[in-house]
């Protein structure tokens, strides 16, 4: 029997939403009925599949609740409704707060009918939001009452145990990449448009939050640009974009910085670049780095968090202090100036992605966990 799965996630282009959506699509392709329960259609849910369903959570309005959000209550009620109507076996939530708490509430409302809940921890739900005094105890409780808990890196598992002192077994299941979609196949027309004069291309992709360290991306580019012709491609959007645009203007480099905003089909853009830069102050895994590696790009990233589990320093990429602009700039410049080295590192990076983080391998781990939870 193939269990039917409910997936709760943020329907955005951030790492947790991307992983949840790609997981749902992959297990639906294997014959499972998959029901997404969220307030918007997940961004990568772009093709029809008879096994994929979407249930919109209405935000609702009630004057007494203003200006407070009632979304968690609406979500819990919707989870209960979908589980009951479609007889789901498992509800898999991606992000601890508020989703794990909502799943627990739904499970309580469903009694005596039983549904298993699995919580996947992605990063800031543990290292930032969950540690806030107002959320600490409910985060700890939500983890402890889940039927199974996974973390996207050993680093995040260790941080969860250290910060929350939980006895719950936490399974490390890394993020994954579809190496057939993210592949080193350059589109010449895209490359020519982004580098009209044959410049080298440095690329960065993120949700433009403060933790992504966007000012350092631009400072690194500014230095490299003073040494060799290049352009900077910035993919994504978020609260730091406006200040990044001002920074580029103030440095006099705006004509060589391309702000592309959110791009759903990033797999078409990454391969045209030469080097990927990710100087985050914190990364629990680094999905953007993995996708770049799968496209054959050398990655120059921070030596923080779970990136150590993704990148082998000086073998499949380079790890630097997130604020060492000089070191990152020198590393990027050397890669741009040595095509043989750049290609060699990129080839090893792709092999690392295929060997350790392929979609088939990681999805199998999730399906194995589903079966273990149901048997228990």
Judged against a pLDDT cut of 90, whether residue 126 lies above it is answered with: no
Report, as an integer, the average pLDDT of 89-117. Answer: 95
Q: Is 183 part of any domain?
A: no
Instruction: For residues 101 and 204, state if they share a domain.
Output: no
Domain that residue 324 falls in: 188-356
Spell out the alpha helix ranges (H) of the chain. Answer: 15-29, 71-86, 99-110, 124-127, 136-144, 154-164, 188-194, 214-227, 241-250, 287-294, 307-310, 325-337, 339-356, 359-375
Spatial distance between the Cα atoms of 210 and 124, rounded to a whole number of angstroms = 12
Instruction: Tell me which of 58-67, 102-111, 224-233 is least confident.
Output: 58-67
Tell which wins on pLDDT, 12 or 118: 118
What residue has token string 């990429």?
317
**Do 153 and 167 belong together in one domain?**
yes
**Per the domain annotation, does 27 fall within a domain?**
yes
Rounded (10°) angle between helices 136-144 and 154-164: 120
What is the secondary structure of 187-206 as a DSSP string? -HHHHHHH-TT--EEEEEES
Residue 182 lies in a domain: no
Could you tell me if 165 and 204 lie in one domain? no
Residue 19's nearest CA partner among 301, 287, 211 is 287
CATH number at residue 24: 3.40.50.2000
Residues 6+ apart with CB under 8 A from 29: 49, 51
Q: Which residues contact 55 (CB under 8 A, 6 or more apart)?
A: 35, 36, 37, 78, 82
Are residue 45 and residue 102 in the same domain, yes or no? Answer: yes
For residue 181, being part of any structural domain is answered with no
- Range among 133-142, 162-171, 231-240 rated most confident: 231-240
Mean pLDDT of 15-36: 93
Q: How many Cβ atoms are within 10 Å of 246's Cβ, its own excluded?
A: 11
User: Does some domain include residue 287?
Assistant: yes
Domain count within the chain? 2
At 145-169, the pLDDT tens digits run: 999 999 999 999 999 999 888 888 9
Find the mean pLDDT for residues 2-14: 88
Beta carbons of 314 and 354 less than 8 angstroms apart: no
- Give pTM, 2 decimals: 0.92
Q: Do 351 and 362 sit in the same domain of this protein?
A: no
Q: Which of 349, 360, 182 is closest to 265 using CA atoms?
A: 182
pLDDT at 108: 96
Per the DSSP assignment, residues forming a β-bridge with 55 are 37
Whether 37 and 146 map to the same domain: the answer is yes
292 in a domain, yes or no? yes
Mean pLDDT of the chain: 93
Statement: residue 66 has pLDDT above 70: no
Distance CA 110, CA 333 (A): 58
Q: Please check the confidence at residue 241 and state whether its pLDDT lies above 90.
A: yes
* 152 and 103 co-located in one domain: yes
């Amino acid at each position: 029997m193939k269990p039917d799965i409910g997936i709760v996630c943020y329907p955005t282009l951030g790492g947790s939403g991307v992983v949840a959506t790609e997981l749902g699509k992959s297990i639906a392709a294997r014959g499972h009925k998959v029901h997404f329960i969220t307030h918007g259609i997940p961004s990568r849910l772009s093709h029809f599949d008879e096994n994929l369903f979407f249930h919109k959570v209405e935000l609702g309005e009630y004057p007494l609740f203003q200006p407070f959000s009632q979304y968690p209550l609406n979500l819990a009620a919707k989870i209960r409704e979908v589980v009951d109507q479609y007889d789901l076996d498992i509800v898999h939530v991606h992000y601890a707060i508020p989703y794990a708490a909502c799943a627990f509430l739904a499970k309580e409302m469903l009694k005596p009918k039983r549904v298993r809940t699995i919580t996947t921890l992605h990063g800031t739900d543990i290292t930032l939001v969950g540690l806030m005094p107002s959320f600490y105890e409910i985060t700890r409780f939500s983890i402890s009452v889940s039927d199974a808990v996974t973390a996207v890196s050993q680093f995040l598992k260790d941080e969860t145990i250290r910060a929350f002192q939980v006895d719950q077994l936490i399974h490390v299941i890394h993020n994954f990449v579809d190496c057939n979609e993210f592949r080193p196949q350059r589109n010449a027309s895209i490359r020519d448009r982004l580098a009209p004069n044959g410049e080298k291309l440095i690329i960065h992709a993120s949700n433009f939050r403060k933790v992504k360290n966007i000012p350092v991306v631009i400072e690194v580019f500014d230095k490299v640009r003073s040494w060799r012709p290049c352009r900077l491609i910035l993919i994504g959007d978020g609260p730091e974009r406006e200040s990044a645009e001002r920074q580029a203007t103030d440095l006099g480099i705006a004509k060589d910085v391309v702000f592309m905003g959110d791009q759903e089909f990033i797999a078409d853009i990454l391969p045209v670049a030469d080097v990927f830069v990710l100087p985050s102050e914190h990364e629990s895994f680094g999905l953007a780095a993995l996708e770049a590696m799968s496209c054959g790009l050398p990655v120059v990233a921070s030596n923080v968090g779970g990136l150590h589990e993704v990148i082998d320093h000086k073998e499949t990429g380079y790890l630097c202090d997130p604020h060492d602009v000089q070191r990152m700039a020198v590393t990027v410049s050397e890669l741009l100036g040595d095509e043989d080295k750049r290609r060699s590192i990129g080839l090893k990076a792709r092999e690392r992605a295929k060997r350790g983080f392929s979609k088939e391998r990681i999805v199998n781990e999730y399906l194995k966990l589903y079966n273990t939870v149901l048997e228990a």
